[in-house]
Amino acid sequence: MRLTLHQLRLLLAVTREGSVSRAAQRLHLTQPTLSAQLRQLSDQVGLPLFERIGRRLHLTPAGEAVVDSATRLEEELERLDETLAELRGDVGGKLRLAVVSTAETFIPRLLGEFRRERPAVEVSLVVLNRDAVLRRLADNRDDLYIMSRPPAAPPVTATPFLANPLVVIAAADHPLAGRRAVPIKALAGEEFVLREPGSGTRQAAESFFAEHDIVLRPRLELGSNEAVRQAVAGGLGLSLLSAHALAHAPDEGIAVLAVKDTPVVTQWQVVHPTGKRLTPLADAFLRFLQARAPELNRAAQARLSAARG
C-alpha cells in the first residue's frame, strides 16, 4: 500500500469539513475530482473509508485509522518544518489557536506582541463560545486552546498561566454601587445579565451563587462580554464578569460591586490533548504567555481598584 501525502490531506479536509462538496470548495477542486481521489485512496487501502448515514458522511473504522495516522503525520511534518526553520535562523511557522470569547479581551494584543518578536510567524486565531472550542479540541484542530474551565473529557493537559478574577458589576447609578461592603444576600432579589449556558463564566456564576444559596434570576442571556457590559450599563441587571473584560474597556457607566467573597478567582489555562507533542512555536507561545501574566494581572487589579474607588 503506497499512500501519498496529497491523498491524506484530501481525506483530512473532507473529515474536517464534514462533506465532500465543502472540502472541494475549500481546496479549489471540483467535487467529481475530489470524489475520484477518495475512491482511489479507498481502493489502495482495500476498505471503505466513509459511510453515508442520512445526509452525513461518517468515518468507518478503517477511515478513522487512516485519519488518525494522517493527523499525526501532519503534526510531525509541521514540527519538522519549524525545527528546520529554527536551524536556518528563520523564526517562523504557523500557530493555530482557538480561544473562548472572554479571552478576546487580551489574547489578540498578546499575539501582536508575540508576532513583533517573531514577524515571520503566521497566526490563525479562532474566537468562539466554549462549546465550539471544545468541539475543535475534540477534533484536534488547533495547536493550543485557551479557556478557564477545561473539559473532563477528552483527556487534556491544562497549564494555568493567568488569574481570571470574576467580579459582580452593576450600572453606576445602581443603589449598591459605591458601598464599601455588599453582603451576598443583598443580591438575592436582583436580576442578572448572564453569558450563554455552557460558557465558563456562566458556570462559575452558577456555582458561586449556588454555594451561597442564591437562585440566579436571569433577565438576559447574551453571547459576548461586550453585550453583557452594555446591558449592565443600561440598567438591565447585574452580572458576574471577568476583570480582564473590564481592564481595557472605557468607563461605560459600570461599577464593580464590593460583594463579599469576590472576586471569584478562576484561572486562564492553555489546553491541548493529553499526549500531543507541542510544536516548538506552540511551546514558545505558552512560555510567552506565562512571562506576560504578571503584567496582565496588575492591569486587571488596577482596573478593579479604580472601579471600586
Please list the pLDDT of the chain residue by residue as tens digits (309 residues).
688 888 888 888 888 888 888 888 888 888 888 888 888 888 888 888 988 887 778 899 998 999 989 988 888 887 787 677 666 545 567 889 999 988 888 899 899 999 888 888 889 999 998 889 999 999 888 999 999 889 988 899 999 988 888 899 999 899 998 888 899 999 988 899 998 887 888 888 888 889 888 888 888 888 888 888 889 999 999 999 888 777 655 567 888 898 988 888 888 999 999 988 888 888 889 989 988 888 877 776 776 666 555
Q: How far apart are CA 25 and CA 34, in angstroms?
A: 10
The CA radius of gyration of the chain, in Å to the nearest whole number, is 23
User: Could you state, in order of their start, the residue ranges of all structural domains in the chain?
Assistant: 5-69, 75-161+268-308, 164-266
Q: What is the DSSP code (8-state) at residue 182? A: B
Q: How far apart are CA 299 and CA 305, in angstroms?
A: 10
Angle made by CA atoms 217, 168, 106, in degrees to the nearest 5: 120
Q: Please tell me the pTM assigned to this model.
A: 0.67
* H or E element at residue 230: helix 225-233
Q: How far apart are CA 197 and CA 209, in angstroms?
A: 15
SS (H, E, C) 44-94: HHCCCCEEEECCEEEECHHHHHHHHHHHHHHHHHHHHHHHHHHHHCCCEEE
CATH topology of domain 5-69: Arc Repressor Mutant, subunit A (1.10.10)
Q: What CATH number does domain 164-266 carry, 3.40.47.10, 1.10.1060.10, 3.40.50.10320, 3.40.190.10?
A: 3.40.190.10
